[in-house]
Amino acid sequence: MKTHVMQADCRPATNRRHGLWKVWTASLLGLLVFATPLMVSWQVMGVNPVQAAFIDNTNPRANYWRAVREGVSGYTAVVGQETDVLIQNSGENWRQVRNGIITTFGAGLLGFTVVALVLFHLIVGKARLGDRTGRKVLRWTLFERILHWFVAILFIILALTGLSLLYGRAVLIPLMGPEAFAAYADFAKDAHNYLALFFVAGLVLMLALWVRENFFTKVDWQWFKAGGGYFGNQHPHAYKVNAGEKIWFWILLVAGIALMISGLFLLFPNYGFDRSTMQGGLVIHGIASLILVAFSLGHIYLGTLGNEGSFEGMIGGKVDEAWARKHHDLWYQETQEAGRAAPKVEETPAVQPPPQAT
Ligand code: HEM
């Protein structure tokens, strides 16, 4: 009968010892590899690996600051809006929106507008009047002109000081140096804050005064289809305010109201507004003002270089009859039919003929 011996390990005993030796050597080497850095850190940096493994030695200050960043409120003797919140974490998000999206959007928008206007001027050029008649039509009363220039001059100052505050760090500090910029920014901020109140009063009055004549009618659609008469020889009909001017008016109204309301929030922070309201206000204020500055560049171009004869109307109040017929023919007719033409259309003596030789 054959007996089956279990072949547990048939290798010679010397071979088996050899294998165990290898296992031991590998284990010791492994231990050395892991233990050395732990020992070094213990000795050199004072970090006890056993403690590090079993004891929660998280830096207590980290927990404290984490809570602060999460907006946990504490106790303060100062009574006021959010005075118990040490750090408003969303302030960092707001900073990134302001210094990233808004400034980039603004620079792109203003750059695009300037390039578009230069191209328009080079390609289309000034809308010339041709032969003037020499007869003048009253277009803007003295009150309207004073109001227009009051608002316009304040707008320009507010735009320049506001843009200085938005782009000062990126553009003005490298140009002027930090000390000169600090002095200028101090002045710019005060000018911006105080003049804004006069601007609000002027703008509200101007919008209220001119809103009636700025509602769109069917005529305006035709004006748009004819490209405002800037392309080709077509002169589309228009009443006192043409469709392009109406667009400017409504942008001024909508963005102007957003600008004024957000600006008032920023001017009077002590009336119970929290920091998130102020941050939202600053974002709206920045976007509305950049849109208005871009459109105002278009308006200023069309009121000066773009159209012969418009600027003199806003300075002296009167425009040449040829200008009125060309740009605002329906309004011109209205002034004639209403009998307003007589006092408003002045005959200016034509050039005197030279004395006849006898
Ligand atoms: C240097 C700057 C400016 C110049 C040269 C200028 C020029 C003019 C001119 C010539 C007109 C009369 C257009 C016509 O008779 O049809 C006008 C109208 C007007 N301007 Fe200005 N302007 C300037 C700045 C501003 C600013 C900053 C605002 C507003 C913030 C403004 C708002 C208006 C409005 C609402 C009208 C009424 C007609 C329209 O809607 O275009 N202007 N401007």
Residue among 247, 244, 236 nearest 291 (CA): 247
CA distance linking residue 73 with residue 70, whole number of Å: 9
User: How much is the pLDDT for 14?
Assistant: 59
First CA to last CA distance, the chain: 167
Task: Report residues whose beta carbon is within 6 angstroms of any ligand 1 atom.
Answer: 139, 148, 151-152, 155, 210, 241, 245, 248-249, 252, 296, 299-300, 303-304, 310-311, 313-314
Q: How far is 229 from 164, CA to CA, in rounded Å?
A: 37
For residue 304, report the distance from its CA to the centre of ligand 1, in Å.
10
Distance 315 CA to ligand 1 centre (A): 11
> 128 alpha carbon to ligand 1 midpoint, in Å?
19
Output the CA 184–ligand 1 centroid distance in Å. 29
Nearest-atom number in ligand 1 for the CA of 313 is: 15
DSSP code of residue 346:
E
Residue pLDDT, tens place only, 313-327: 999 999 999 999 999
Alpha carbon of 301 to ligand 1 centroid (Å): 10
pLDDT at position 202: 98
> Rounded CA gap, 104 and 97, in Å?
10
Q: How many C-alpha atoms does 104 have within 13 Å on its Cβ side?
A: 5
CB-count burial class (<10 Å; 0-12, 13-18, 19+) for 281? buried
| Cα(177)–Cα(185) distance, integer angstroms | 12
- Residue 154 Cα, ligand 1 centroid: separation in angstroms? 13
Handedness of CA 306, 312, 314, 317 (dihedral sign): negative
The residue whose CA is least distant from atom 3 of ligand 1 is 300
Cα–Cα distance measured from residue 322 to residue 338, given in angstroms and rounded to the nearest whole number: 19
Q: What would the two tokens of residue 188 be?
A: 């710019």
Distance (angstroms) between ligand 1 centre and the Cα of 121 equals 19
The residue nearest atom 27 of ligand 1, judged by CA position, is 152
Could you say which DSSP state residue 289 is in?
Answer: H
What does the pLDDT look like over 299-315, one tens digit per residue?
999 999 999 999 999 99
Instruction: Assign 136 to helix, strand or coil.
Output: strand
**Cα 148 to ligand 1 centroid, rounded to whole Å:** 7
Q: Whose CA is nearest to atom 43 of ligand 1?
A: 303
What integer pLDDT is reported at residue 68 of this predicted model?
Answer: 79
**Do 164 and 184 contact (CB within 8 A), yes or no?**
yes
Measured in Å, residue 309 CA sits from the centre of ligand 1 at 13
Identify which of 139, 239, 299 to mutate to test ligand 1's pocket (most ligand atoms within 8 A of the CB).
Answer: 299
Number of neighbours of residue 137 by Cβ within 10 angstroms: 25
Question: How far is residue 207's CA from residue 148's CA, in Å, rounded to a whole number?
Answer: 10
- In angstroms, rounded to a whole number, what is the distance separating the alpha carbons of residues 147 and 151? 6
Q: What atom in ligand 1 is closest to the CA of residue 240?
A: 16
DSSP character string of 234-288: ------SS-HHHHHHHHHHHHHHHHHHHHHHHHH-TTTT--HHHHHHHHHHHHHH
Segments in the chain below pLDDT 50: 1-9, 341-345, 349-351, 357-358
CA 310 to chain CA centroid, Å, is 29
Alpha helices for 41-102 (secondary structure H) = 49-54, 60-69, 90-96
- Find all residues with CB under 8 Å of 214, minimum gap 6, and list them: 241, 245, 246, 249, 250
Residue nearest to ligand 1 atom 25, measured at CA? 152
CA atoms of 22 and 153, how far apart (whole Å): 91
The strand order across the sheet containing 136-138 reads 318-320, 136-138, 345-346
Q: Are 221 and 313 in contact (CB under 8 A)?
A: no
* Distance from Cα 339 to the centre of ligand 1, integer Å: 27
- CB-CB neighbours of 34 under 10 Å: 10
pLDDT confidence of residue 2: 43
Sequence-distant (6+) residues with CB within 8 A of 181 are 168, 172, 173
- Among protein residues, the one whose CA lies closest to atom 9 of ligand 1: 303
Pocket test for ligand 1, best of 137, 138, 141, 148 (most atoms within 8 A of CB): 148
